[in-house]
Amino acid sequence: MSEDYYAIGERDAKILAKKISCEDYETLKVHWKNKNYTLLAFMLRRYGLDFKGLTYLETLVNDLIKIKEAPNRIT
């Protein structure tokens, strides 16, 4: 595949940061810490995103955490 999963994950993290509820965000962090990929994929699906592999998921979650926990975040 010619898709750049890093770029897609980064783009989807920005989209998800605007949509995700505070409760779902905290739950997502717990699932990420516990490496529960099935529940992470389920949560992404609820927000209209598809699981595209571990590289994509790692990029998406790490970027999402950076966005949501930035000291001067706008979203």
Tell me the two tokens of residue 73. 């975040």
Q: Collapse the DSSP code of 38 into the 3-class scheme (helix H, G, I; strand E, B; otherwise coil) and give the result.
A: helix
Its domain, for residue 11, covers: 5-68
Residue 74 resides in a domain: no
Residue 31 resides in a domain: yes
Q: Considering the chain, what percentage of its residues have pLDDT values greater than 70?
A: 91
Residue 75 resides in a domain: no
Residue 70, Ramachandran bin (φ over 0: left; ψ between -120 and 50: alpha; else beta): beta
Q: Considering the chain, what percentage of its residues have pLDDT values greater than 90?
A: 75
Tell me the two tokens of residue 67. 């966005």
Residue 24 resides in a domain: yes
pLDDT digits (tens, 9 = 90+) for 34-61: 999 999 999 999 999 998 889 899 999 9
| pLDDT > 50? residue 1 | no
Residue 61 resides in a domain: yes
